[in-house]
């Protein structure tokens, strides 16, 4: 009896000093698990983009499986896939309805990109243009493209797009927003551009993408893993403000695209050009240049977003008489503005 009283007093003292034995800590109500729905884009008869031997629907399922396996290493998270086979076709509406049926906190639709003229490269995330779905989509999207950027994939940005009816343009996002579920489309890379294709083809790369996708989710929801020791509970990001009205896409080309010829080298054919590009709505992300007055253009180059003015060499091929330099600046909605043409007189190379 005396021993027991001493034990009670001791426990009281310990609790008073804040050193409570674990067994006396009242059990905390189990936290509600985070419910994640991963949506491998396309499936069934809908193959998605097909280039360079790739079929998008096959890639998205591989990334989704890797993302699920990685996410399940974290504590307190439940993960579902909207489809689990390549033969399975699922409508966009059904993908969002499934997310609603499991009470999803977020839907991630996984995709790969291609462009009509095969000129773009990099990754982008599409988010809803509306309210808290916009806010959550932007916050997650910024974390996501930074993860993909760490794989040396060019970051095109996080964007919204509204269709003619005034709703989200992309079906899966629209169907999620209608159910008040934040949904994003992750376009990991382009299947039709020389800059991205070798990356996508590299051994184990799809698995790496899945791990990066899962890591972005873990950071966004501040998850931790008792299995691996990964702990993002202290992860910080600058939150996006919830907008009062819809956030429209930029529908106009960059505002400024000017060039000046700074120097010429008749010995090696280089013309040093200074270019100034500005867009008041969205960032300038690519530029291209022409030495033949705009008849042909260089492949799209990466524009350094930290500067409005930068210079570079335009190489004029040997024997090309009377070059005229013209440049284009592209914003991250892929709209471009062309510069003034600058003739380089009596250029001999
Ligand atoms: Zn797709």
**348 CA from centroid of ligand 1 (Å):** 48
Whole-number pLDDT of residue 348: 82
**30 CA from centroid of ligand 1 (Å):** 37
**111 CA from centroid of ligand 1 (Å):** 4
CATH number at residue 36: 3.40.630.40
Do 150 and 284 lie in one domain? The reply is no
**51 CA from centroid of ligand 1 (Å):** 12
Give the tens place of pLDDT for each residue, 99-158: 999 999 999 999 999 999 999 999 999 999 999 999 999 999 999 999 999 999 999 999
Question: Which domain, by its residues, includes 301?
Answer: 256-343
Do 143 and 198 lie in one domain? The reply is yes
Do 261 and 190 lie in one domain? The reply is no
Do 198 and 109 lie in one domain? The reply is yes
**285 CA from centroid of ligand 1 (Å):** 22
Helix axes 171-178, 92-101, angle to 10 degrees: 30
Do 69 and 199 lie in one domain? The reply is yes
Give the tens place of pLDDT for each residue, 211-238: 999 999 999 999 999 999 999 999 999 9
Q: How far apart are the first and last CA of the chain?
A: 104
Give the tens place of pLDDT for each residue, 172-208: 999 999 999 999 999 999 999 999 999 999 999 999 9
**224 CA from centroid of ligand 1 (Å):** 30
In the chain, the number of structural domains is: 2
**186 CA from centroid of ligand 1 (Å):** 9
**55 CA from centroid of ligand 1 (Å):** 10
Helix axes 171-178, 131-149, angle to 10 degrees: 140
**12 CA from centroid of ligand 1 (Å):** 61
Mean pLDDT for the chain? 93
* 210-to-108, 110, 186, 295 alpha-carbon distances in Å: 11, 10, 11, 41
CATH number at residue 324: 2.60.40.1930
Residue 88 — pLDDT band, cuts 50, 70, 90? Answer: very high
């Amino acid at each position: 009896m005396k021993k027991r009283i001493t034990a009670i007093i001791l426990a009281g003292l310990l609790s008073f000093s804040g050193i409570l034995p674990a067994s006396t800590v009242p059990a905390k109500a189990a936290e509600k698990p985070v419910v994640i729905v991963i949506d491998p884009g396309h499936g069934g008869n809908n193959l998605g983009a097909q280039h360079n031997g790739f079929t998008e629907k096959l890639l998205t399922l591989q990334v989704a499986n890797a993302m699920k396996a990685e996410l399940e290493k974290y504590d307190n998270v439940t993960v579902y896939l909207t489809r689990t086979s390549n033969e399975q076709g699922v409508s966009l509406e059904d993908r969002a309805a499934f997310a609603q049926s499991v009470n999803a906190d977020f839907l991630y639709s996984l995709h790969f990109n291609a462009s009509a003229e095969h000129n773009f490269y990099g990754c982008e995330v599409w988010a809803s243009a509306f309210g808290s779905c916009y806010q959550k989509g932007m916050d997650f999207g910024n974390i996501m493209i930074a993860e993909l950027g760490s794989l040396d994939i060019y970051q095109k940005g996080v964007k919204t797009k509204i269709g003619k009816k005034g709703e989200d343009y992309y079906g899966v996002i629209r169907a999620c927003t209608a159910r008040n579920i934040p949904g994003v489309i992750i376009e990991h890379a382009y299947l039709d551009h020389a800059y991205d294709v070798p990356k996508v083809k590299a051994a184990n790369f799809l698995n790496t993408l899945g791990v990066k996708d899962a890591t972005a989710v873990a950071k966004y929801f501040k998850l931790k893993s008792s299995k691996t020791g990964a702990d993002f509970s202290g992860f910080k990001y600058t939150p996006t403000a919830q907008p009062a009205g819809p956030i429209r896409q930029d529908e106009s080309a960059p505002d400024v695209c000017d060039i000046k010829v700074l120097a010429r080298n008749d010995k090696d054919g280089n013309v040093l050009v200074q270019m100034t590009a500005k867009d008041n709505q969205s960032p300038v992300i690519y530029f291209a240049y022409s030495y033949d007055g705009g008849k042909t253009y260089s492949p799209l180059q990466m524009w350094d977003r930290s500067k409005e003015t930068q210079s570079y060499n335009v190489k004029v091929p040997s024997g090309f008489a009377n070059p005229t330099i013209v440049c284009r600046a592209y914003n991250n909605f892929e709209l471009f503005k062309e510069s003034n043409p600058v003739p380089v007189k009596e250029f001999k190379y």
